[in-house]
Amino acid sequence: MGERLRTANRRELGGYLFIFPAFLVMLMLVIYPLIYGGYISLFNTNLMARWNLVGLKYYLRILTDSVFWSKIRITISFTFWTVLGHFILGMVLALMLNVKIPGRAVFRAILLTPWLFPEVVVALVWKWLYNPMYGLINHFLVQLHVIAAPISWLGSPSAALPAVIIAAIWKGYPLIMVMLLAGLQAIPQELYEAAQIDGASPIQAFRYITLPGLRYVLVVSLILDTVWWFKHFTIIWVLTQGGPVDATNVISIDIYKTAFEYFRFGEAASMAVIVFFICFLFGYGYRRMLGDEGN
Amino acid sequence: MKKHKVMTISLFVIFLILTALNFQSYAASITLRVLSTTIVEKPEGNVERQIAEEFMQKNPDIKIEFIGVPMNNVYAKITTLATGGDMPDIFTNVPQFVAQAADLGIVEDLDELLGPDFIKGFYPNAIREASLNGKLQFIPWFSTPLALLYRGDWFKAEGLAAPQTWDDFVAVAKKLTKDVNNDGKVDRWGFAMLGARNDSAMSRYNCILKTFGAYELRRDTSGNWVTDVDSPKGINALRFFTDLYLKDHVVPPGPTEVSYAEALELMALEKTGMMITGPHSIGGILARNPKLAGKIYSVPVPKKEKHVSFLGVYGFSISKTSKHKDAAVKYLKYLISKENLLEWNRVTGRMPCRIDAGKEPQISGPVYAGFVKAMDYAEAVPNVAFYPEIIDIEGEAVQAVLTGQATPEQAAKKAGEKIRAAIRRAQ
């Protein structure tokens, strides 16, 4: 009995030893920054010479500030349309690439290209495309007589957010396309053959075979994509810096400005902690809505 | 005997290795890390690198290692390096960042390191801008006084004189705005307006604001910080500025998208005839379009109540944590020697802050005449830690009017309230 217990303990210890390196990495790269961020949020600090404890003052101020919530609304709007765009475009392209057509590998490579470009490059390319003086978009629209004169897409409060969302959709759809394509290829062909024999239409097959078959891939992709784009900074910053006025001022830009332009690190950290909980809620909500069935 | 021979050879080899190691460590016993924003610019970077190379040749024991950072990211980069305990020996500093850098506690007091005799060699207003509470925070390298850059050849062709007042300015801007290729659409504009929400654009707007007699931030008679942005003069300045686009139509489409780089491009591509900027822009424009050599002139920024300019002093601080402060001083003194300042000015157009170099005929020639004159109207940038927030608030107000979201009165009122809140928060 005692010998068996000792063996079990040894095995357990071995297990702990095996996970220790991974735990250490997690501790350094994930847990420590999270805790440190929370710690900073309790101080009025420049992270160097000034550390004045303010407690929960910043949280109270932020949570009761209508400007903060208006920026959260812009962020949610940006995230919703971007993720929706990714899923519609990603799904359509994944379904097309799942069909055996000549040159499929070439199409896959081409459609993956936006994902390979750094975000800054993507933003600069779109900035040039949108330019009111030399941009290709204005040039073609004027040539086609769709618009009479060039439009400052990124300088218009009503057009700036859609313009930024289009750039973000272009950058992000390949990831969803690849994930959905992998999910599609895991669905057994027999199910489609059985459906065909039963007289199901392609739409019915999509509704009753494809979508349920993609359920887990959809949940994971949706959580990853939503959280990723909710925190997004680079493309918006390069394209508009949050402007004009506050038209594209998502919360990540506000956090950056508060920290690195106004040097109010404590306040920026409090905003970041709140955003962390919002992202956490997104993940939890998706899992509840779409069901994780023990996974 | 054989044993003795082997031992002698071994000792000789060890001696050679040790000598080589010693020589190597002597050859570059000090490495100075220099964080510079000009090093990533063209043609500035080439000259700066060349000066560093010459310095290293003359001082083989010192190696210069540059960390290039664009100006727009430099405050964030310095803060990150400071909090990470990885400050370079020398770093870029400007009046807008002086208070922040001092607050971070990363700046070495330069008064003792340089000595009063050497400091006397700088223009006094450059020293004033580079100081905080009477202590020199950075060594002024060059200044970029704001003036109005204009296309002298276009002015001559239209029979126009350089504008002295804002009324003159609007009149000439309207004359310059035209359909050059006769396709029925305007393709050339009078003014390259910077309407982006950033420091570069708003420092130009603040110059205009001050010519109207209003200040974004100033001390009142009791020494407290106050703002005039929502005063009648402040509102007039905002209305005048935004009307250039909205009513006078002398500005190309999309001014809220225009930062310094885009404005420079507009001038280089001959799409605009005037721009408020510093002398460094001449180098930038000519680098993009050499055909414009000799066609660009300068004049002080037009006035409503008075002419105003900003010196735009730029320099280098020495880190408090640097272990090579003497070597850093040696390099910086070499950088700002008369010969190097004149070469720097010749290539980049940036004005020297040392009196001996400033007196040279090269600086007072016709191209720079407006900039030299503008230095007489230079006013200091408020060196408070919350100044970047003020700039952002002003940018929001300007953009709100330019995009039709608010009237000048509404935008100015909101900006005034926000600036006062920022002042209260900082106290």
What value does the mean pLDDT take over residues A80-104? 92
Does residue A157 belong to the interface with chain B, where contact is any CB pair within 8 Å? Answer: yes
* CA distances to A85, B397, B417, B418, B427 from B424, in Å: 44, 20, 11, 10, 5
Q: What is the CA radius of gyration of chain A?
A: 24
Give the distance from residue B44's alpha carbon to the nearest chain A alpha carbon, in angstroms: 23
B392 contacts in chain A (CB < 8 Å): 257, 261-262
Per-residue confidence (pLDDT) for residue B22, from 0 to 100: 52
In the sheet that B272-277 helps form, which strands lie side by side, from edge to edge? B189-191, B272-277, B147-151, B296-299
Per-residue confidence (pLDDT) for residue B403, from 0 to 100: 95
The tokens 């420091």 sit on which residue? B199
B316 strand-pairing partners: B92, B139
Helix H, strand E, coil C: the string for A68-79 is HHHHHHHHHHHH
Mean pLDDT by runs of 10 across the 427 residues of chain B is 64 61 58 94 90 95 94 87 92 91 90 91 91 92 93 94 96 95 90 93 95 95 94 97 97 94 94 94 88 91 94 93 94 95 90 88 75 86 87 96 96 96 88
This prediction has a pTM of 0.83
Contact A155 B105 (CB under 8 A): no
Q: Rounded to an integer, what distance in angstroms lies between the CA atom of residue B266 and that of residue B262?
A: 6
Per-residue confidence (pLDDT) for residue A250, from 0 to 100: 95
What value does the mean pLDDT take over residues A227-255? 93
A263, A264, A267: best to mutate for the B interface, most B CBs within 10 A: A263
Q: Rounded to an integer, what distance in angstroms lies between the CA atom of residue B178 and that of residue B187?
A: 6
Contact B254 A241 (CB under 8 A): no
Q: Taking 70 as the threshold, does the pLDDT of residue A195 lie above it? A: yes
Q: Rounded to an integer, what distance in angstroms lies between the CA atom of residue B111 and that of residue B129?
A: 14
* Contact between residue B149 and residue B266 where contact means Cβ atoms under 8 Å apart: no
Among the partner residues A46, A244, A257, nearest to B403 by beta-carbon distance: A244
What value does the mean pLDDT take over residues A196-212? 90
A257 contacts in chain B (CB < 8 Å): 392
What value does the mean pLDDT take over residues A228-238? 94
Per-residue confidence (pLDDT) for residue B183, from 0 to 100: 84
Q: Taking 80 as the threshold, does the pLDDT of residue A4 lie above it? A: no
What are the tokens at B192? 């390259």
Helices (H) and strands (E) in chain A, counts: 15, 2
Per-residue confidence (pLDDT) for residue A202, from 0 to 100: 87
Does residue A77 belong to the interface with chain B, where contact is any CB pair within 8 Å? Answer: no
Does residue A148 belong to the interface with chain B, where contact is any CB pair within 8 Å? Answer: no
B64 strand-pairing partners: B32
A263 contacts in chain B (CB < 8 Å): 79, 100, 103, 385, 388
Give the distance from residue A295's alpha carbon to the nearest chain B alpha carbon, in angstroms: 40
What are the tokens at A58? 């910043």
Interface size, chain A vs chain B, as Cβ–Cβ contacts under 8 Å: 88
Per-residue confidence (pLDDT) for residue A294, from 0 to 100: 46
Directed axis angle between helix A215-230 and helix A265-290, to 10°?
160
What are the tokens at B65? 């290692």
Per-residue confidence (pLDDT) for residue B361, from 0 to 100: 81
Give the distance from residue B19's alpha carbon to the nearest chain A alpha carbon, in angstroms: 43
B266 contacts in chain A (CB < 8 Å): 133
